[in-house]
């Protein structure tokens, strides 16, 4: 899934972007924006999954506390809390997020270099110890080897055994780390970050259209009704954003086919199943994968 990262965007434009059928997920950098609490509440209450982020070192503890609480109470899907966040604020937000059903991202950033492997692995463990549902590690790469060192966390046997599948978002920043961002999706990251309007929020963050092209090939975003559409017009994903549809697309990004119960087949699900092979890199759609059991039906509801 592609997560567009917003900063300094006028409120009306931010609403339009989050309401667009082309937006799968969004991060709102509250520390880099000047939204009122009412505006934060409205943005986080929209149907698209939102990550609320407000770095204390950029915004100050008071703004971070106030606006992240508003975001959590308003329905943000995730709250991003850096490891360096003051303990008292961190504990308060963890409690509020738990009660609201908001998932917690604990994040570590190193803008100067790529730490050694043991240090990176320890940061993952520290994030988990501090309440992470999802662990985010972003470090600066100066060469290809730096990126490879970061990405190797996805294959670490200890971390895999700890139940981190689908819970790691680790990549390298900077020019040398660009490829690691999209490669992280192929290795199991639930989403990757992309910029909009030429305004990256981190070094090396690619534009959303670049990421779409890399992931979806000729299935590019087009404005208006229809959402994602093949350039030849052959396959369309309607505007619906059901959980089942998202599972199908996420499985396709991992190169797999998600099984769907016959009773769950509808126009939107059929469209997602049709484009899944294209996303997975196969140009000819496969037959629909069906699982007729009642258990599957209940699970997909």
| Per-residue model confidence as pLDDT tens digits over 109-146 | 999 999 999 999 999 999 999 999 999 999 999 999 99
Q: Which residues have CB under 8 Å from 70's CB, separation 6+? A: 37, 40, 41, 44
Left (φ > 0), alpha (ψ -120 to 50) or beta: where does 68 sit? alpha
Beta strands in 114-271 (DSSP E): 134-140, 168-173, 192-195, 219-221, 228-230
Distance of alpha carbon 64 from alpha carbon 31, whole angstroms:
7
pLDDT band at 279 (very low <50, low <70, confident <90, very high): low
248 or 150, which is more confident: 150
- Answer with the one of 162, 184, 216 that is the final residue of a domain: 216
Return phi, psi of residue 194, to 5°. Answer: -145, 155
Judgement on whether residues 45 and 141 belong to the same structural domain of the protein = yes
Residue 242, both tokens: 């059901």
Mean pLDDT across the stretch 271-280? 72
Q: Are residues 165 and 59 in the same domain?
A: yes
The side-by-side arrangement of strands in the sheet containing 168-173 is: 168-173, 134-140, 103-110, 78-82, 50-53, 25-29, 2-6, 192-195
- Average pLDDT over every residue of 241-268: 75
- Same domain for 224 and 211: no
Q: Does residue 199 share a domain with residue 136?
A: yes
Q: Name the one residue in this structure whose structure tokens are 């950098």.
A: 29
Q: Last residue of some domain: 165, 199, 216?
A: 216
Domain that includes residue 269, residue range:
220-300
Question: Do the Cβ atoms of 150 and 180 come closer than 8 Å?
Answer: yes
* Same structural domain, 191 and 285: no
pLDDT per residue as tens digits for the range 29-43:
999 999 999 999 999
Average pLDDT on 93-101 reads: 96
Considering the domain architecture, whether residues 146 and 270 belong to the same structural domain is answered as no
Q: What are the pLDDT digits (tens) for 247-257? A: 787 777 767 77
- Domain identity same for 205 and 230: no
138 DSSP β-pair partners: 109, 171
Cβ-based burial of 163 (10 A; exposed 0-12, middle 13-18, buried ≥19): exposed
278 falls in which pLDDT band (50, 70, 90)?
low
Mean pLDDT throughout 73-85? 97
For the chain, the domain total comes to: 2
Q: Kindly state whether residues 116 and 261 are assigned to the same domain.
A: no
User: Looking at the structure, do residues 103 and 189 belong to the same domain, yes or no?
Assistant: yes
CATH of the domain at 63: 3.20.20.70
Is residue 168 pLDDT above 90, yes or no? Answer: yes
Q: Which residues contact residue 214 at a Cβ distance below 8 angstroms, ignoring those fewer than 6 apart?
A: 182
Residue ending a domain, among 216, 232, 267, is 216
* CA terminus-to-terminus distance, the chain: 20
pTM listed for this prediction: 0.73
Q: Give yes or no: residues 164 and 286 share one domain.
A: no
Same domain? For 193 and 246 the reply is: no
The answer to whether residues 158 and 259 belong to one domain is no
Nearest 5°: the CA angle 228, 212, 52 is: 95
Distance CA 40, CA 290 (A): 41
């Amino acid at each position: 899934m592609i997560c567009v990262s917003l900063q300094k965007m006028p409120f009306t434009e931010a609403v339009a972007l989050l309401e667009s059928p082309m937006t799968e997920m969004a991060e709102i950098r509250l520390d880099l924006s000047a939204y009122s609490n009412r505006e934060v509440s409205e943005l986080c209450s929209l149907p698209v999954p939102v990550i609320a982020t407000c770095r204390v070192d950029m915004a100050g503890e008071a703004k971070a506390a106030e606006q992240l609480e508003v975001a959590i109470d308003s329905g943000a899907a995730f709250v991003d809390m850096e490891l360096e966040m003051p303990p008292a604020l961190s504990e308060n937000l963890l409690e509020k997020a738990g009660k609201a059903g908001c998932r917690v991202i604990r994040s570590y950033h190193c803008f100067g270099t790529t730490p050694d492997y043991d240090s990176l692995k320890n940061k993952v463990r520290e994030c988990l110890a501090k309440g992470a549902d999802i662990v985010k590690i972003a470090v600066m790469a100066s060469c290809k080897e730096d990126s490879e060192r970061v990405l190797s966390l996805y294959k670490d046997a200890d971390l895999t055994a700890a139940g981190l599948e689908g819970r790691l978002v680790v990549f390298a920043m900077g020019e040398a780390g660009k490829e690691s961002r999209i490669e992280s999706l192929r290795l199991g990251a639930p989403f990757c970050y992309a910029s909009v309007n030429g305004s990256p929020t981190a070094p090396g963050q690619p534009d959303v259209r670049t990421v779409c092209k890399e992931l979806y090939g000729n299935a590019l975003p087009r404005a208006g009704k229809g959402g994602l559409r093949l350039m030849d017009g052959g396959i369309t994903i309607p505007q619906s954003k059901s959980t089942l549809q998202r599972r199908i697309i996420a499985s396709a990004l991992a190169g797999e086919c998600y099984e769907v119960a016959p009773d769950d087949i509808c126009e939107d699900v059929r469209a997602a199943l049709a484009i899944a092979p294209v996303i997975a890199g196969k140009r000819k759609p496969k037959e629909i994968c069906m699982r007729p059991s009642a258990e599957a039906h209940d699970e997909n509801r």
